[in-house]
Structure 1
């Protein structure tokens, strides 16, 4: 039986690519599409194709009335948490694709998911190569003590750091050894130039025209450095396969799981 999927943000940069992929997949069914700007239109036509028989609605609440197994959210940082909690309360599993949520937000989502016996999956980045960057950085953190994260994005990106950088820093914090560099609290001058701390890792965010999305983990040891970096291209295709993998696996376990690499092995 096909998995019934709602895509929130279905006409956006990544959401549109995911919606098209769901429509094309034999084991998935697009049960709903959410996009305020296209509400009332057929999602197929809104995406520039043939009618798909699914009307776009303005809210997740409306989409859930038709019934679904999984909500995929590629909306905005200020909307994703409420959308996730709405779906969870309806017994629908959630795949979080939108960045901007904090560790406290995820803790609240996890608590709600467990209370409602549903699964939630979140990743800072659903690209396979970005996931490999995280995997390799976590391996390196076991051996090299000093690490900092730098993320790059366009000047219009609404959240900082990126979801990729935030998730990477949080996960590195659980593995890294004590830093040997001078603590930020002991520095003079303008301390803010050392970035912001997420867990035990300093994170620096650049927002400039010309970038799409990039993230790197820089490791330093006496006499040598290691750079592990991911650069995104100009379209959303790299994020589709990982998102669909999460859709197919999100209901395997109750509660929140974070990091696409958890599904690799």
Structure 2
């Protein structure tokens, strides 16, 4: 039985994670951490009143008390970094969906996990369709090196661009080589209208109520364009990937960045 604690348990992704873990065969939800509703049962928030797990505010104390195998984290930048260190130091495998960390931080956590020979995962996106989008886009970039990325998320998302957009851009940049893209003499009449520049390609971030998580990768070539798009229309779309990740990290002795490294291995 894999025992899991969820941090950010009362957030939208946290609640879905708790529900998915409770339903998953061979898994047990043993702890819920959040800054809200401390002392109340998580069962009442996920439609499982018979689950008597009290929401706690101190992650370190919860890990000591329940000794889980895995920590699932959907909190926010500035909090998740502390949670990852706390988990690894406690010998608990981190499965992290919180985005907004930089490359240096991820490398620090990778080294910390390696010292403990502890499995873990930091994933910008748990939707399997989104991972396939990145894979297909990377293949397309070999033939269509001129590319722009448009990512669309709900208006409560804190970081921009999304971790998925950054991961896509990194994968595309790795295969397309040095490309001079667009008109060298172009100028912006409104600052930022052309989006962010990542290794010569542009990333555009849209934030609106009603959206969940969406991304389109648009390639341009001689007389043709190619668009690859993925849409998460509900947060349930992330749960099959999350459950897969929880199972897979149990057999790892190092921390991995990107669920695709477990899905397409």
TM-score (norm 2): 0.91
For residue 133 of structure 2, give the secondary structure of its aligned residue in structure 1: helix
* Cα deviations by residue, 1:98-157 (Å, 9 ceiling, x for unpaired): 121222221121121112221221221111211211111111122221122111123332
For residue 98 of structure 2, give the secondary structure of its aligned residue in structure 1: coil
The 3 A distance-change label for structure 1 pair 33 and 230 is same
* Structure 1 residue 170, shift from structure 2 partner: 2.0
State how far apart, in whole Å, the 2-side matches of 1:27 and 1:98 are: 24
- Work out whether 1:23 is the aligned partner of 2:1: no
For residue 31 of structure 1, give the secondary structure of its aligned residue in structure 2: strand
Maintained 8 Å contact 1:145/1:178: no
Query: Equivalent residue for 1:238?
Result: 237
Query: Equivalent residue for 1:136?
Result: 136
* Structure 1 residue 182, shift from structure 2 partner: 3.9
* Structure 1 residue 200, shift from structure 2 partner: 5.2
Query: Equivalent residue for 2:251?
Result: 252
- Work out whether 1:263 is the aligned partner of 2:257: no
- Work out whether 1:111 is the aligned partner of 2:96: no
Maintained 8 Å contact 1:91/1:117: no
State how far apart, in whole Å, the 2-side matches of 1:201 and 1:246 are: 30
Query: Equivalent residue for 1:224?
Result: 224
State how far apart, in whole Å, the 2-side matches of 1:16 and 1:39 are: 15
* Structure 1 residue 35, shift from structure 2 partner: 1.5
**Structure 2 residues not aligned, in runs of 5+:** none
How many residues align structurally?
A: 262
For residue 144 of structure 2, give the secondary structure of its aligned residue in structure 1: coil
Maintained 8 Å contact 1:9/1:74: yes
The 3 A distance-change label for structure 1 pair 26 and 211 is closer
Maintained 8 Å contact 1:172/1:201: no
The 3 A distance-change label for structure 1 pair 198 and 32 is farther
The 3 A distance-change label for structure 1 pair 156 and 23 is closer
* Structure 1 residue 198, shift from structure 2 partner: 3.5
* Structure 1 residue 62, shift from structure 2 partner: 2.1
* Structure 1 residue 183, shift from structure 2 partner: 7.3
For residue 137 of structure 2, give the secondary structure of its aligned residue in structure 1: helix
Maintained 8 Å contact 1:43/1:51: no
State how far apart, in whole Å, the 1-side matches of 2:26 and 2:200 are: 42
- Work out whether 1:157 is the aligned partner of 2:154: no
Matches within 5 A, 1:1-265: 2-65=1-64, 66-182=66-182, 187-189=186-188, 192-199=192-199, 201-233=201-233, 235-265=234-264
For residue 174 of structure 1, give the secondary structure of its aligned residue in structure 2: helix
For residue 192 of structure 1, give the secondary structure of its aligned residue in structure 2: coil
State how far apart, in whole Å, the 2-side matches of 1:49 and 1:237 are: 17
* Structure 1 residue 18, shift from structure 2 partner: 1.3
With 247-256 and 217-226 compared, the bigger mean Cα shift is at 247-256
For residue 217 of structure 1, give the secondary structure of its aligned residue in structure 2: strand
The 3 A distance-change label for structure 1 pair 199 and 91 is farther
* Cα deviations by residue, 1:50-95 (Å, 9 ceiling, x for unpaired): 2313222113212211201111101112211111111011111111
State how far apart, in whole Å, the 2-side matches of 1:36 and 1:208 are: 26
The 3 A distance-change label for structure 1 pair 187 and 107 is farther
